[in-house]
């Protein structure tokens, strides 16, 4: 379908119409509104139709279609198929001013759609002509809304009526009627899509009974066969009256004291309240009352403990709220004056001073550390009362703190800090440290902080040669010591030393276990004098990173001491190098036929004798070939022997450098001979210095940060390695777990400009021999009633083979602490400590004793034991009536009272009183809470001496079933 502008110069619109098969158009037309009509036939079973089409599916092999497009050709206003099971086709189409379409064509279908009363309803021959008219559908929608749904008698409601022509033809003479609001309105014309709104006000009559008020509007029009309606409903409320009060007794109390709040809700109106919810978050109150009849009174008594930190002179004000299905929210408040009282509060936190891991960025009550870390406990004593405190005594056995504060003014605080180093072998678990304080005015208070000691596998390795000086051919013994200095067992231990040809496996090493191995090594007979023999021991486990220990021994002459020195460490091609060869008799006898040989220098002679202590010195020179390669190393050996001493060798090296002072690089590796050392022990740090460049390094200075000393190396050829050592004595008072970190740094003349001086790091941890202190802590009974006594038994035993000294045993819960000067191997001590469960302890409260013990030789051991307060849910239920007898029509008052007399909060308590249709639900019924409900009841007209019995039951999820009854006898006066 295509539409051109009046000049025919441009398309107004052009569109396809059809689907997956053949479509042919035969007729078209326009209506006064610019809508286009089109008809023809289609073979497509998915030809586009509109939802209101007469026929949306293909009836036969070919159907006629009738389509109406909007003026811009962008959408279908109406489109339908038309046909039966035979062949059908439209031929011409037109429309009228009312929007009707007229279609004509031909059909071969015997079931072509016809309307009732049509001129011809059956097929007359093989092919018949058809004519069809498609009209527009009139429709109207009406809505009615009110500006409020819940009203009281006397309120004014505004109704809004919305009438919309939702059909396709104009509507005339539209009548809108709603007698309830005195509405009668006529709308003469409403075009398709147009809307008109009407409003009326309505005042709810004062005598309107509670309930719903519904009224309906009706709408008619000339074009509509049926009326249209809409309904609105408003809820007319009654005039309920409820008195809600709240009081507290006493009205002034000190911190720690208990006051009783009384909340009373009385239905003083003439309608029942339903779905009542009484809440007071401050008191933890959340009560629901399903039904509160007129005249009924509900009373709730809730105990409340004034917070220990409440400021003297302050006022505690809190508000309760009650609301319901037919009750707008009401509030009631009460206030308590806080009286002056002495108050002492303790606060304890723990932080890391030096830690392997960053367990917390700020002080906390719990942190995680590794053995060897240092923690800092911060203890604050604060006067939280309203009077000054005197002689405040603080004691913390674990932290070693014992202080007395002479006076603390109101609001004043004193802060103490103390550090504690976690011993290496502290078992991995959580340790609780408690500080306690008492003053002249207050009883004992405590505060705790916990430290979680994490598992830390630590393998101590040391490798010590029996001597640091050896001769060629000498057998040397190394002592290798492996110690599990951590707090967890080690498995899969493998000891490797390639130089010694050692590869040993150890399945397991328990905490504190030590293994010692002697490893022999024979110095090769051909080793040159002056050689430094280094060998690296590596030990791996399943739990730790490889641990290494390096040992270095120096080869010296045996019988004859040899040395060969040059007057320069480097030389240019063509220059002369002057050497000095020295041989000294180390024996206490004369040696004969002393042979000297240095082929490079042309030295070869035999000296017939050399007296004890005597020395032979020879000088020789060597001219460096002019073609010697730059950077090459000139090394030559000098050897000597005698009738008494086997052949020995020494060597000297000179670097050939055309230009002296060329930059070169060095690398450092630093190894201790042990990674765990005892206080007072000596650690030998060996620094391996390697020339990793291609030129000579001279005037090398290696400094040691821990000892503050340095060693020098005159020169180091390219590829050459030298060793320097730094002995360090661990302070005798060093604590177990202390870390000594050591850094070696090298400087030399040829360090490349702008480069960073190389460094190497090593760490040694202070460790002690393993001592074993066993600690147990048990309590009998482990569940106890309030007011009864539980006995904590703390037991210590020395499981090691050595005497333990200054054994401290601490049991904070009962304020027990003792010092055992010495505990012999196998000796044990036992301490029974009684603890009384507080009489007001809440059921389920757990009292934990964190007993701990330690000594001069052993790390902290801590073992908890706990006693739980027995849960004793209980309550009393009473049901009474104010008089035992009454007459028909007389009002009596029943009272229901329930009191939580147990030591646990009762959960989901429900009280039922069927006679009064009463159900009271409480999410939580506090300990000591006391609820009462007073209910008026009109005695019915019954037979003489009829007993009216009211039965009440109460049941909580965690409490017993309670039942009570009250009765009144109805008497009838005889006439």
Beta strand extents in 611-696 (DSSP E only): 615-623, 633-641, 648-656, 666-672, 676-677, 682-691
- CB count, 10 Å around CB of 486? 28
**Strands lying side by side in the sheet with 88-95:** 88-95, 101-107, 128-134
pLDDT at 246: 92
Angle (nearest 5°) at CA 633 between 630 and 637: 150
DSSP 220-267: E-TT-SS-EEEEEEEEE-----EEEEEEEESSEE-TT-EEEEEEEEEE
Global pTM value: 0.47
CA distance 107 to 723: 115
Query: Of 737, 742, 778, 780, nearest to 761 (Cα)?
Result: 742
The phi and psi torsions of 601 (rounded to 5 degrees) equal: -95, 0
Q: Is the distance from CB of 673 to CB of 466 less than 8 angstroms? A: no
Q: In 10 A of CB 670, how many CB atoms?
A: 22
Strand-by-strand arrangement of the 475-484 sheet: 459-465, 475-484, 514-522
Where do the domains of the chain lie? 2-134, 141-236, 245-329+871-975, 344-453, 459-553, 560-572+586-656, 666-766, 773-869
Do the beta carbons of residue 509 and residue 489 sit within 8 Å?
A: yes
Q: What architecture is the 344-453 domain classified under in CATH?
A: Sandwich (2.60)
The domain over range 459-553 is classified in CATH as 3.40.50.2300? no
Per CATH, domain 141-236 is 2.60.40.10: yes
The answer to whether the 459-553 and 666-766 domains have the same CATH topology is: yes
The pLDDT value given to residue 771: 54
Spell out a b/e string for 610-649, using b for 16 or more CB atoms within 10 Å of the CB, else e: beeeeebebebebebeeebeebeebebebbbbbebbeebb
The answer to whether 54 touches 25, Cβ cutoff 8 Å, is no
CA atoms of 197 and 194, how far apart (whole Å)? 10
Predicted confidence at residue 363, as pLDDT, reads: 47
> Using an 8 Å Cβ cutoff, are 870 and 852 in contact?
no
Q: Is the dihedral of CA 902, 908, 912, 917 positive or negative?
A: positive
How do 875-881 and 891-900 pair as beta strands? antiparallel
Q: What is the mean pLDDT of each run of 10 residues along the chain (975 residues)?
A: 90 93 93 88 93 87 93 87 95 84 94 91 92 80 89 85 84 92 92 90 73 89 86 81 89 87 84 88 88 84 84 85 90 88 86 57 68 86 87 82 89 88 79 88 87 88 90 91 86 92 91 86 88 90 91 89 90 92 93 94 94 94 90 89 91 86 92 85 92 91 93 90 92 81 93 92 78 85 95 92 86 89 93 94 92 81 91 94 90 92 92 91 88 89 90 93 94 67
The Cα–Cα gap between 724 and 880 comes to 100
Q: Which ranges of 53-123 does DSSP label H, i.e. alpha helix?
A: none
In sequence order, the β-bridge partners of residue 464 are 479
**Which option is the CATH number for 245-329+871-975: 2.60.40.3880, 3.40.50.1100, 3.40.50.300, 2.60.40.10?**
2.60.40.3880
pLDDT at residue 208 in the model: 62
Taken in order 659, 663, 664, 666, is the CA torsion positive or negative? Answer: positive
pLDDT score at 620: 94
Q: Rounded distance, CA 673 to CA 118, Å?
A: 118
**Which pLDDT does position 777 carry in this prediction?**
94
Give yes or no for a contact between 936 and 881, defined as CB atoms under 8 angstroms apart: no
DSSP 870: P
Phi, psi of 727 (to 5 degrees): -80, 140
Q: Is the distance from CB of 485 to CB of 541 less than 8 angstroms?
A: no
Q: How many CA atoms lie within 13 A of 246 on its CB side?
A: 20
What pLDDT, on the 0 to 100 scale, is given for residue 411? Answer: 86
Helix (H, G, I), strand (E, B) or coil at 586: coil
Q: Residue 946: is it exposed, middle or buried by C-beta count within 10 angstroms (0-12/13-18/19+)?
A: middle
| Domain 773-869: which CATH number of 2.60.40.10, 3.60.21.10, 3.30.465.10, 3.10.20.340 | 2.60.40.10
Q: Residue 270's CB: how many other CB atoms inside 10 A?
A: 11
Q: 666-766 falls under which CATH superfamily?
A: Immunoglobulins (2.60.40.10)
Going across the sheet that includes 697-704, the strands are 676-677, 759-766, 739-747, 697-704, 709-716
Amino acid 117: pLDDT: 86
Q: Are the C-beta atoms of 539 and 493 separated by less than 8 Å?
A: yes
Give me the pLDDT at residue 686, please: 92
């Amino acid at each position: 379908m295509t539409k051109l502008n009046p000049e025919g110069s441009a398309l107004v619109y052009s569109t396809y119409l059809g689907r997956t098969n053949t479509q042919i158009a035969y007729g078209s037309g326009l209506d006064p509104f610019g809508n286009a009509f089109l008809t023809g036939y289609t073979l497509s079973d998915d030809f586009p139709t509109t939802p209101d089409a007469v026929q949306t599916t293909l009836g036969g092999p070919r159907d006629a279609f009738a389509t109406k497009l909007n003026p811009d050709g962008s959408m279908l206003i109406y489109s339908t198929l038309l046909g039966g099971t035979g062949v059908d086709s439209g031929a011409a189409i037109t429309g009228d001013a009312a929007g009707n379409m007229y279609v004509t064509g031909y059909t071969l279908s015997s079931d072509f759609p016809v309307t009732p009363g049509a001129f011809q309803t059956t097929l007359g021959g093989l092919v018949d002509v058809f004519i069809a008219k498609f009209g527009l559908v009139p429709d109207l929608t009406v809505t009615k809304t009110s500006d409020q749904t819940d009203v009281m008698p006397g309120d004014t409601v505004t109704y809004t009526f919305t009438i919309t022509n939702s059909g396709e033809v104009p509507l005339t003479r539209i009548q809108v009627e709603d007698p309830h609001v005195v509405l009668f309105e006529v709308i003469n014309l409403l075009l398709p899509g147009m809307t008109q709104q009407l409003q009326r006000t309505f005042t709810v009559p004062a005598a309107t009974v509670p309930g719903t008020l519904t009224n309906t509007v009706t709408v008619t029009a000339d074009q509509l066969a049926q009326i249209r309606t809409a309904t609105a409903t408003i809820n007319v409320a009654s005039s309920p009256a409820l008195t809600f009060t709240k009081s507290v007794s006493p009205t002034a109390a000190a911190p720690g004291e208990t006051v009783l709040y009384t909340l009373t809700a009385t239905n003083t109106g003439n309608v029942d309240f339903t779905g009542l919810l009484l809440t007071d978050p401050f008191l933890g109150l959340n009560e629901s009352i399903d039904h509160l009849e007129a005249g009924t009174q509900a009373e709730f008594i809730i105990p409340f403990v004034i917070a220990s930190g409440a400021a003297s002179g302050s006022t505690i004000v809190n508000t309760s709220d009650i609301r319901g299905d037919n009750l707008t929210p009401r509030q009631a408040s009460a206030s308590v004056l806080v009286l002056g009282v002495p108050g002492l509060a303790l606060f304890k936190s723990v932080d890391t001073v030096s830690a392997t891991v960053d367990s917390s960025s700020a002080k906390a009550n719990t942190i995680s550390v590794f053995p060897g870390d240092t923690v800092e406990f911060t203890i604050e004593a604060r006067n939280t009362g309203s009077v000054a405190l005197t002689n405040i005594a603080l004691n913390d056995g674990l932290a070693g703190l014992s202080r007395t504060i002479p006076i603390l003014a109101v609001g004043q605080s004193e802060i103490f800090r103390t550090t504690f180093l976690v011993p290496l072998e502290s078992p991995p678990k959580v340790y609780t440290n408690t500080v306690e304080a008492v003053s002249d005015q207050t009883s004992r208070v405590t505060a705790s902080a916990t430290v979680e000691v994490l598992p830390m596998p630590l393998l101590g390795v040391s490798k010590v040669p029996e001597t640091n000086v050896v001769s060629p051919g000498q057998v040397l013994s190394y002592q290798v010591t492996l110690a599990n200095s951590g707090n967890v067992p080690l498995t899969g231990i493998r000891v490797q030393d390639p130089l010694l040809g050692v590869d040993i496996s150890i399945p397991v090493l328990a905490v504190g276990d030590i293994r010692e191995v002697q490893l022999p090594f024979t110095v090769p007979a051909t080793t040159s004098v002056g050689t430094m023999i280094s060998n690296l021991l590596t030990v791996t486990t399943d739990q730790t990173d490889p641990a290494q220990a390096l040992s270095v021994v120096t080869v010296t002459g045996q019988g004859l001491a040899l040395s060969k020195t040059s007057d320069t460490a480097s030389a240019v091609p063509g220059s002369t190098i002057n050497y000095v060869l020295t041989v000294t008799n180390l024996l206490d006898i004369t040696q004969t036929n002393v042979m000297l040989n240095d082929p490079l220098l042309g030295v070869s002679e035999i000296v017939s004798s050399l007296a004890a202590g005597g020395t032979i010195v020879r000088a020789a020179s060597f001219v460096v070939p002019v073609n010697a390669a730059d950077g090459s190393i000139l090394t030559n050996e000098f050897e000597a022997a005698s009738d008494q001493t086997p052949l020995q060798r020494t060597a000297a090296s000179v670097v050939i450098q055309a230009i002296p002072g060329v930059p070169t690089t060095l690398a450092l590796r630093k190894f201790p001979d042990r990674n765990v050392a005892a206080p007072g022990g000596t650690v030998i740090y060996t620094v391996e210095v390697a020339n990793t460049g291609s030129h000579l390094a001279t005037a090398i200075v290696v400094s040691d940060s821990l000892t503050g000393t340095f060693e020098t190396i005159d020169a180091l050829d390219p590829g050459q390695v030298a060793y320097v050592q730094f002995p360090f004595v661990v302070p005798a008072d060093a604590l177990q777990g202390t870390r000594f970190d050591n850094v070696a740094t090298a400087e030399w003349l040829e360090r490349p400009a702008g480069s960073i001086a190389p460094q190497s790091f090593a760490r040694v941890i202070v460790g002690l021999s393993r001592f074993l202190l066993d600690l147990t802590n048990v309590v009998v009974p482990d569940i106890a009633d309030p007011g009864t006594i539980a006995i904590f038994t703390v037991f210590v035993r020395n499981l090691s083979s050595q005497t333990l000294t200054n054994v401290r045993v601490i049991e904070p819960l009962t304020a027990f602490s003792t010092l055992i000067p010495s505990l012999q191997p196998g000796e044990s001590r036992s301490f029974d400590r009684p603890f009384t469960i507080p009489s007001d302890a809440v059921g389920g409260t757990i009292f934990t004793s964190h007993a701990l013990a330690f000594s001069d030789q052993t790390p902290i051991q801590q073992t908890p034991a706990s006693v739980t307060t027995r849960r004793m849910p209980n309550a009393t239920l009473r049901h009474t009536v104010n008089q035992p007898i009454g007459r028909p029509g007389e009002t009596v008052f029943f009272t229901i009272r329930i009191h939580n007399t147990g030591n646990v909060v009762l959960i989901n308590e429900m009280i039922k009183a069927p006679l009064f249709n009463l159900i009271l639900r409480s999410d939580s019924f506090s300990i000591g809470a006391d609820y009462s409900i007073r209910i008026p009841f009109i005695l019915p007209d019954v037979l003489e001496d009829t007993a009216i019995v009211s039965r009440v039951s109460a049941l909580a999820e965690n409490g017993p079933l309670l039942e009570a009854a009250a009765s009144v006898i109805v008497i009838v006066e005889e006439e």
